[in-house]
Amino acid sequence: MGRSKTGDTMIEGYGAIRKLPDAACQPDKNLEYRIVYRISSPPEKEGDPTPGLSHIALTINLFEWAGVPGEHLHLAGVVHSGATPATLTLEAYRRDFGRVNPDADLIHQLTQNGVALYVCGQSVLKHGYRRDDVNPEVTYALSALSVLPAYQMKGYALMHY
Protein backbone atom coordinates (compact mmCIF):
# COMPACT_ATOMS: atom_id res chain seq x y z
CA MET A 1 0.00 0.00 0.00
CA GLY A 2 1.43 3.35 -0.99
CA ARG A 3 0.98 6.56 0.91
CA SER A 4 -0.68 9.72 -0.29
CA LYS A 5 1.32 12.90 -0.62
CA THR A 6 -0.08 15.58 1.68
CA GLY A 7 2.84 17.93 2.33
CA ASP A 8 6.50 18.41 3.19
CA THR A 9 6.35 16.50 6.47
CA MET A 10 4.02 13.58 6.28
CA ILE A 11 3.99 12.77 9.99
CA GLU A 12 3.69 15.90 12.12
CA GLY A 13 5.38 15.89 15.52
CA TYR A 14 7.17 12.55 15.13
CA GLY A 15 10.15 11.17 13.24
CA ALA A 16 12.24 14.34 13.11
CA ILE A 17 14.97 14.17 10.50
CA ARG A 18 18.15 16.08 9.81
CA LYS A 19 18.54 16.97 6.17
CA LEU A 20 21.88 15.77 4.78
CA PRO A 21 21.85 16.46 1.03
CA ASP A 22 25.56 15.66 0.61
CA ALA A 23 25.50 12.31 2.47
CA ALA A 24 25.99 9.01 0.64
CA CYS A 25 23.18 6.48 0.03
CA GLN A 26 20.36 8.91 -0.71
CA PRO A 27 17.02 7.19 -1.46
CA ASP A 28 16.50 6.40 -5.15
CA LYS A 29 13.31 8.11 -6.32
CA ASN A 30 12.77 5.39 -8.93
CA LEU A 31 12.81 2.39 -6.57
CA GLU A 32 9.82 0.80 -4.88
CA TYR A 33 10.56 0.57 -1.16
CA ARG A 34 8.87 -2.24 0.79
CA ILE A 35 9.66 -2.33 4.49
CA VAL A 36 8.07 -4.26 7.36
CA TYR A 37 8.91 -3.30 10.94
CA ARG A 38 9.08 -5.73 13.85
CA ILE A 39 8.10 -3.50 16.78
CA SER A 40 8.74 -5.13 20.14
CA SER A 41 10.51 -2.55 22.33
CA PRO A 42 8.51 -0.32 24.67
CA PRO A 43 9.38 3.34 25.17
CA GLU A 44 12.33 4.02 27.47
CA LYS A 45 10.49 6.84 29.26
CA GLU A 46 6.88 6.94 30.43
CA GLY A 47 4.82 9.07 28.06
CA ASP A 48 7.16 8.73 25.07
CA PRO A 49 5.94 7.15 21.84
CA THR A 50 6.98 3.60 21.01
CA PRO A 51 10.38 3.65 19.25
CA GLY A 52 9.39 1.39 16.35
CA LEU A 53 6.37 3.51 15.50
CA SER A 54 8.56 6.62 15.65
CA HIS A 55 10.99 4.97 13.23
CA ILE A 56 8.20 4.39 10.74
CA ALA A 57 7.39 8.12 10.98
CA LEU A 58 11.08 8.92 10.49
CA THR A 59 11.13 6.71 7.39
CA ILE A 60 8.13 8.50 5.90
CA ASN A 61 9.57 11.93 6.67
CA LEU A 62 13.04 11.04 5.38
CA PHE A 63 11.80 9.55 2.11
CA GLU A 64 9.39 12.47 1.66
CA TRP A 65 12.28 14.94 2.08
CA ALA A 66 14.37 12.91 -0.41
CA GLY A 67 11.61 13.20 -3.02
CA VAL A 68 10.54 9.56 -3.15
CA PRO A 69 6.97 9.52 -4.52
CA GLY A 70 4.40 8.35 -1.99
CA GLU A 71 3.29 5.52 -4.24
CA HIS A 72 6.85 4.10 -4.08
CA LEU A 73 6.84 3.64 -0.31
CA HIS A 74 5.07 0.58 1.10
CA LEU A 75 5.29 0.24 4.87
CA ALA A 76 3.88 -2.18 7.42
CA GLY A 77 4.51 -2.77 11.08
CA VAL A 78 3.68 -5.56 13.50
CA VAL A 79 3.60 -4.69 17.19
CA HIS A 80 4.20 -7.41 19.76
CA SER A 81 5.92 -8.29 23.02
CA GLY A 82 6.74 -5.27 25.23
CA ALA A 83 5.39 -2.79 22.67
CA THR A 84 1.86 -4.27 22.68
CA PRO A 85 0.32 -1.55 24.92
CA ALA A 86 0.96 0.99 22.14
CA THR A 87 -1.97 -0.53 20.24
CA LEU A 88 -4.55 -0.10 23.01
CA THR A 89 -7.58 2.12 22.62
CA LEU A 90 -7.60 5.37 24.60
CA GLU A 91 -10.04 3.82 27.07
CA ALA A 92 -8.07 0.59 27.61
CA TYR A 93 -4.78 2.46 27.95
CA ARG A 94 -6.24 4.88 30.52
CA ARG A 95 -7.79 1.96 32.43
CA ASP A 96 -4.46 0.13 32.66
CA PHE A 97 -1.96 2.99 32.85
CA GLY A 98 -3.98 5.95 34.15
CA ARG A 99 -3.00 8.29 31.32
CA VAL A 100 -3.48 9.00 27.63
CA ASN A 101 -1.91 6.55 25.18
CA PRO A 102 1.16 8.42 23.82
CA ASP A 103 0.95 6.41 20.58
CA ALA A 104 -2.69 7.10 19.65
CA ASP A 105 -2.02 10.19 17.51
CA LEU A 106 1.04 8.63 15.88
CA ILE A 107 -0.88 5.46 15.00
CA HIS A 108 -3.62 7.61 13.48
CA GLN A 109 -1.16 9.59 11.36
CA LEU A 110 0.65 6.44 10.22
CA THR A 111 -2.50 4.66 9.14
CA GLN A 112 -3.82 7.81 7.45
CA ASN A 113 -0.59 7.79 5.42
CA GLY A 114 -1.08 4.21 4.22
CA VAL A 115 0.96 2.28 6.80
CA ALA A 116 -0.51 -1.15 7.53
CA LEU A 117 -0.26 -1.73 11.29
CA TYR A 118 -0.85 -5.08 12.98
CA VAL A 119 -0.77 -6.27 16.57
CA CYS A 120 0.15 -9.83 17.50
CA GLY A 121 -2.99 -11.48 18.91
CA GLN A 122 -0.80 -13.81 20.96
CA SER A 123 0.83 -10.82 22.66
CA VAL A 124 -2.52 -9.14 23.24
CA LEU A 125 -3.78 -12.20 25.12
CA LYS A 126 -0.45 -12.83 26.91
CA HIS A 127 -0.59 -9.28 28.35
CA GLY A 128 -4.15 -9.85 29.59
CA TYR A 129 -5.86 -7.59 27.05
CA ARG A 130 -8.96 -8.38 25.02
CA ARG A 131 -9.44 -8.00 21.30
CA ASP A 132 -11.78 -5.06 21.84
CA ASP A 133 -8.98 -3.30 23.78
CA VAL A 134 -7.11 -2.90 20.46
CA ASN A 135 -7.24 0.41 18.60
CA PRO A 136 -9.54 -0.09 15.56
CA GLU A 137 -6.86 1.47 13.33
CA VAL A 138 -4.61 -1.52 14.09
CA THR A 139 -5.32 -4.94 12.55
CA TYR A 140 -5.62 -7.75 15.08
CA ALA A 141 -3.45 -10.55 13.63
CA LEU A 142 -3.01 -14.17 14.63
CA SER A 143 0.64 -13.61 15.47
CA ALA A 144 3.76 -11.62 14.63
CA LEU A 145 5.04 -15.02 13.53
CA SER A 146 2.42 -15.08 10.76
CA VAL A 147 2.67 -11.43 9.67
CA LEU A 148 6.44 -11.01 9.44
CA PRO A 149 7.23 -13.99 7.16
CA ALA A 150 4.23 -13.21 4.94
CA TYR A 151 5.55 -9.70 4.27
CA GLN A 152 9.12 -10.90 3.83
CA MET A 153 7.97 -13.48 1.30
CA LYS A 154 6.34 -10.60 -0.62
CA GLY A 155 9.72 -8.86 -0.85
CA TYR A 156 9.58 -6.55 2.17
CA ALA A 157 12.85 -5.75 3.96
CA LEU A 158 12.70 -6.43 7.70
CA MET A 159 13.57 -3.74 10.26
CA HIS A 160 13.71 -4.45 14.02
CA TYR A 161 12.73 -2.02 16.78
pLDDT grade for 9, boundaries at 50, 70 and 90: low
**pLDDT per residue over 139-158, tens digit each?**
999 999 999 999 999 999 99
Average pLDDT of the residues in 70-75:
96
Looking at the whole model, is its pTM more than 0.85?
yes
In a domain, 1, yes or no: no
What's the pLDDT score for residue 7? 44
What's the pLDDT score for residue 10? 79
**pLDDT per residue over 74-86, tens digit each?**
999 999 999 999 9
Decide if pLDDT at 8 tops 90.
Answer: no
pLDDT grade for 6, boundaries at 50, 70 and 90: very low
Give how many domains the chain has, as a whole number. Answer: 1
In a domain, 41, yes or no: yes
In a domain, 152, yes or no: yes
In a domain, 14, yes or no: no
**pLDDT per residue over 57-66, tens digit each?**
999 999 999 9
In a domain, 16, yes or no: no
The 3-class SS string of the chain reads CCCCCCCCCCCCCCCCCCCCCCCCCCCCCCCCEEEEEEECCCCCCCCCCCHHHHHHHHHHHHHHHCCCCHHHEEEEEEECHHHHHHHECHHHHHHHHCCCCCCHHHHHHHHHCCCEEEEEHHHHHHCCCCHHHECCCCEEECCHHHHHHHHHHCCCEEEEC
In a domain, 111, yes or no: yes
**pLDDT per residue over 91-127, tens digit each?**
999 999 999 999 999 999 999 999 999 999 999 999 9
What's the pLDDT score for residue 4? 40
| CATH number of the domain enclosing 85 | 3.40.1260.10
In a domain, 142, yes or no: yes
Q: Which residues form the domain of 92?
A: 33-160
In a domain, 131, yes or no: yes
